[in-house]
């Protein structure tokens, strides 16, 4: 956007906080007002190296929480990189984004993912961003897939390409409220690898990461099943990038 155009647009549409609509005094750059930004519980050390949770007891040696220590070393998903705790402002932002169809919130939500202390270290090793897919009927109802919006926004900022390498082949009732085992049963066989991506994934060197993208991670079941499908397609080192871990 040219400077004149930006100045003009600010004259007619003065910049406001994405969330509370408080006017912002600076030009561009700021997306949430300082008061709302303070309400975000961004992940800061010490956090679990497996799932990014901060309010947990960590093993002194591995720096993993009890849940992550129990997870098999051969689990298809190697790490969960979540930018914030699912508390305070974050659940509101996510539900406004998804159910309120406020797609512009992909911008501040991407800020949260990128605010993770290790994001900038990991980013150069990420080969592609794979959004968690949505069944086409659900997508038709919602009008968009929030994970895809986040993946494209992340891609725009980092230059890492998006690979829509997974598809959801079964439609399910909501997962909310279900326990991990029930989620696994409910979701069995839900995700399929898009064969057209096979060559691309099989040729990836071992040290290159494949990043799954989802708005929020609850039990991790969806991400784990997606990672399994990606592994079947040849992906090696898979991590999840998400706004928040509950
Ligand atoms: Zn605000
Ligand atoms: Zn953990």
Ligand that lies nearest to the alpha carbon of residue 48, given by its number in the listed order:
2
Which residues lie near ion ligand 2 (Cβ < 5 Å)? 48, 50-51, 65, 68
CATH number of 34-245: 3.40.50
pLDDT tens, residue by residue, 45-89: 999 999 999 999 999 999 999 999 998 777 899 999 999 999 989
Q: Could you tell me the two tokens for 235?
A: 């992906």
| Strand pairing report for 209-217 and 166-168 | unpaired
The widest CA-to-CA distance across the chain, in whole angstroms, is 57
CA of 24 to the centre of ligand 1 (A): 9
Q: At what angle do helices 221-232 and 180-187 cross, to 10 degrees?
A: 40
- Whole-angstrom distance, CA of residue 138 vs CA of residue 135: 5
Rounded CA separation 158/113 (Å): 12
Confidence at residue 173, expressed as pLDDT on a 0 to 100 scale:
60
- List the pLDDT tens digit at each of the 246 positions of the chain: 556 766 666 666 778 888 888 888 766 555 788 889 888 999 999 999 999 999 999 999 999 999 999 987 778 999 999 999 999 899 999 999 999 988 989 999 999 999 999 999 999 999 999 999 999 998 999 999 999 999 999 999 999 999 999 999 876 666 666 676 676 666 667 899 999 999 988 888 888 999 999 999 998 999 999 999 999 999 989 999 999 999
Ligand whose nearest atom lies closest to the CA of 81: 2
What is the Å distance from ligand 2's center to 48 Cα?
5
Q: Ligand 2 centre from 77 Cα, in Å?
A: 12
Residue 237 to residue 216: CA distance in whole angstroms: 20
- Ligand 2 centroid to 91 CA: how many Å? 20
What SS3 state is found at 162? Answer: strand
234's tokens: 């040849």
Q: pTM of the prediction?
A: 0.88
Q: Which pLDDT score, from 0 to 100, does residue 25 have?
A: 74
Q: How far is the CA of 82 from the centre of ligand 2 (A)?
A: 11
Cα–ligand 2 centroid distance for 79 (angstroms)? 9
**What pLDDT does 187 receive?**
67
Nearest ligand for residue 89 CA:
1
Average pLDDT, the chain: 89
């Amino acid at each position: 956007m040219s400077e004149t155009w930006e100045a003009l647009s600010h004259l007619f549409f003065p910049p406001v906080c994405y969330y509370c609509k408080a006017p912002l005094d600076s030009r561009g750059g700021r997306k949430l007002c300082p008061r709302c930004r303070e309400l975000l519980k961004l992940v800061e050390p010490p956090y679990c190296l497996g799932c990014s949770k901060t309010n947990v007891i960590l093993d002194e040696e591995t720096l993993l929480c009890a849940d992550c220590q129990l997870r098999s070393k051969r689990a298809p998903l190697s790490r969960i990189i979540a930018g914030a705790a699912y508390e305070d402002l974050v659940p509101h932002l996510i539900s406004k984004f998804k159910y309120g169809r406020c797609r512009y919130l992909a911008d501040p939500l991407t800020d949260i993912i990128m605010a993770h202390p290790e994001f900038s270290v990991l980013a150069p090793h990420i080969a592609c961003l794979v959004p968690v897919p949505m069944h086409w009927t659900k997508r038709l109802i919602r009008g968009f897939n929030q994970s895809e919006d986040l993946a494209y926004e992340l891609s725009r900022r980092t230059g890492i390409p998006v690979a829509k390498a997974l598809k959801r082949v079964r439609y399910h009732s909501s997962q909310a409220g279900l326990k991990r085992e029930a989620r696994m049963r409910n979701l069995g066989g839900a995700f399929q690898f898009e064969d057209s991506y096979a060559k691309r994934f099989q040729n990836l060197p071992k040290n290159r990461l494949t990043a799954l993208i989802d708005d929020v991670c609850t039990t991790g079941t969806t991400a784990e099943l997606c990672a399994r499908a990606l592994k079947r397609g040849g992906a090696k080192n898979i991590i999840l990038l998400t706004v928040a871990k509950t």
